[in-house]
Structures are given as C-alpha cells and as structure tokens.
Amino acid sequence: MDPLEALNKAGVSIWLDDLSRTRLAGGGLAELVADRHVVGVTSNPTIFAKAIPGSDVYDEQIRQLALRGVDVDTALRELTTYDVRWACDVLRPAYDASDGVDGRVSIEVDPRLAHDTERTIAEVATLWWLVDRPNLFVKIPATKQGLPAISECLAQGISINVTLTFSLARYAEVVEAFLAGLERAAAAGRPLSDIASVASFFVSRVDTEVDKRLDKIGTAATIALRGSAAIANARLAYQHHEQVLRSERWRELARAGARPQRPLWASTGVKEPSYSDTRYVTELVAPGVVSTMPEATLRAVADHAVVPVDSVRDTYDDAQRVLDSLAAVGVDYDDVVRTLEDEGVAKFTDSWEQLREQLAEILRRRLSVVS
C-alpha cells in the first residue's frame, strides 16, 4: 500500500506544513491534494517570510497596496489572508467530503502578540473576518497569555489551531482551555458542530534541545537516550487526549455536537542526519491525529516509509520510563520545554519582523516609482 494511503487508513490526516502563492498559482498545492492525500495546510510567520520576498507573484498586489498607501501591518494582513483564503478554496472539497474534519488551512496571529491576551483575541477576530472561510483555523500560541484567548475565541465560534505546545503540563492546560471554550459556546447557544480545534504538539525540536543537553553531559547513559525524548513526549500527550475523550465532561459536550480537539504533530521534519527521515511520522501513528509535514518529509514518507497500524497506544509505560530516565541523568524537562516555548515565540517574531522590514522597503520603492 502507498505509505500515505496507509497513514490515512490508520486515522492520520496528512497536512502540508507550507504555503506560498507560487505553490497556489502553479497548481502545486492542488496536485498534492489530488495525488498525495494532503487534506490540510499549515502556515506560520517563518513560512511567509520565505515566500513573500522571494517571488514575483506578489508584485501586482504589492503595487496596489503601495498605491493605496497602506501601512506595512495592513499590507501583511492582506497578502497573507489572500493566500490563506485561496488555499481554503483549494481545500474546500476535502472539507466538505470530511464533514468539516479536514480541508483546513491555518493562519497565525502576529507573533508579537503572544503574551498579550486582549490583542490576540482582537487579531484572531480580524483574521477570521478577513479570510471569511469556514475551513479556516486561526493559530494562537500556547503561552500562558494565549490560554484565555483560546477559550474566548472558541466561545465566539472561531475555530482555533493552538500552536507552540511543547510540554505535557501545557498541553493539559490547552485541552482545559478548549473544553472551557466549548462549554461557554454551548451556554451562549452556539452550534458546537461548527467549531473545530487542533492542538499542535511540537516534536523534533524537543529532540534537538534534549540531545544537545545529553551530549553536553556526555556519558554512555546519556548517549543511549539521544533521540528518545520527542516521541515519548508526544505519545504521553496522546495518552492524555485519550483520557479526556473518556471523561464525562467530554461526553456531555459530544452529545451536544462537539468535535474532539485533535492532536496535531508539528515540527516533523528531521533535523539530525543520523535519524530516519520519517521517524516523527511513522512513530506517531494513532487514530484521530494530524501529521503536518514539510514537503521533503511528505515525499520521504511516500517514497520509503513503513507505516504501522498504530505506533502510539500501548507505549505509554515505555514513554514514561524515557522521561524518568532523562530526569535521572540530569535533563531538566521543565527547563527544556520552557526554553523551547521562549525560542519558538522568538523565532516566529524574528521572522515576522524581518518580513515587515523587507515589505516596508518594497512598498517604499514601489511608491517612489509611482510618484
């Protein structure tokens, strides 16, 4: 069986972790949907920072934005929401065919707002209104300040992708924010079946940070633990997901029409050359999850992955032993995940600021040509 089809049959939704107008205009996204079982798309500030300055397909819209004299933040919203709206239309058949489960496209709030609850809520509402597609996800980072924004936006009926989740404790808080938001939506009389959410749990970055610390300790015991943290961490997150689905609190929401918040495996591209290039996909196969992949990982999976029926359930004891072993050799889990969250927000903010500066310069040049 085609490995991508095998993933699909195992209950894993395949999403592409990339978006650009070049891919949209050239039909590349449509081809992946037609031929590679892709049923969703995620974007982030780093993806747009690579896409917009490096392609002339944005030139005409940028020329119009310059003529209108808009500021750089308005220009960024219009450029990115145009691409996301287009991608939503490409994925709309998958959305309809899955009754709204898949066919989703994600856009992230300005990463500079990651620690500002009220402005995040306002930005989410603006992006929801600008894209104006039912198969949109707006991404909110899983910072402490992001948690109340998640609940509030879900309560307003906005579908949310919670991003930058690294720790099991924070994942539990994300799930709590999801449940609380749906309960508030139900109390307000909103149809719960119209509201969807995924929780993006980051994978490979965990191994990158933990391996660095293991290498620094440098004993035989620590070397043996390299590459074990990320998969164990994600598997225990899925265990929590299963526990929530068995709770009476969830069952009451489900009876009212609610859809589960699906775990989404993010950062599945392998950064360590000695590791299998498909490990963060094939080692995290379980029903009802999303695996979002950069195109290189997607093609590697299609080419040579061996996909199990399930590689997550029945692994929870072993996964906990991995985290216990890491603690025993001196790896501070709480410090690891705190570092990763801070770095994740900082990296996206840096990408966004770089894109703002580049776009501001392009707008200035265009305006001077027009003048």
* Catalytic residue ranges: 139
Name every residue whose Cβ is closer than 8 Å to that of residue 69 and which is 6 or more positions away in sequence: 367
Q: Which of 308, 107, 331 is nearest to 233 (CA)?
A: 331
Q: How many CB atoms lie within 10 A of CB 35?
A: 11
- Which amino acid is located at 40 in the chain? G
